[in-house]
Structure 1
């Protein structure tokens, strides 16, 4: 194994899923400026758009997220191909 290729600044970080406010604590080297109090202790915060607690593959629930009408554009573009 090569020496000195892995970072040595691991620390406890809170990851927060912004779609459902689920949080979990894990070691990471991710840089962040935000902090949050988690279980009475303040930790660095990494905000995520999606995690295993909100991803349709893991939850079995389909959630349609429409950003700036992209879904409508798609349906309008391909509406003539519908059988």
Structure 2
């Protein structure tokens, strides 16, 4: 790697306000606000709206599609029609 062209990577706390959890990880992002972490050190903190702790895809609370209802609706709509010959 070439020297002096890459951004500085530092420990940063990402705090998910929706789930009430925080993650300590490395990032190039910086913030003025700081928080004291579990190890007693002070780190920059960045508030995020969604993380893996609150996103429906990761928590398993995503909406379930009513596929049975969709199939019944399709069958009712196209019940009397002959299939297309091609």
Instruction: Check whether TM > 0.5.
Output: yes
> Which ranges of structure 1 fall in alignment gaps of 5 or more residues?
64-83
Q: Would the aligned equivalents of 2:52 and 2:58 in 1 still touch at CA under 8 Å?
A: yes
Matched, 1:12 2:44: no
Give CA-to-partner distance per residue, 1:32-61, whole Å, 9 cap, x none. Answer: 111111112211001100001100000011
Residue 44 of structure 2 corresponds to: 44
Give the TM-score of the pair, scaled to structure 1. Answer: 0.64
Choose 1 or 2 for highest CA Rg.
2
Give the TM-score of the pair, scaled to structure 2. Answer: 0.62
Q: How many residues align?
A: 61
Q: Would the aligned equivalents of 2:10 and 2:28 in 1 still touch at CA under 8 Å?
A: yes
> Which ranges of structure 2 fall in alignment gaps of 5 or more residues?
64-86
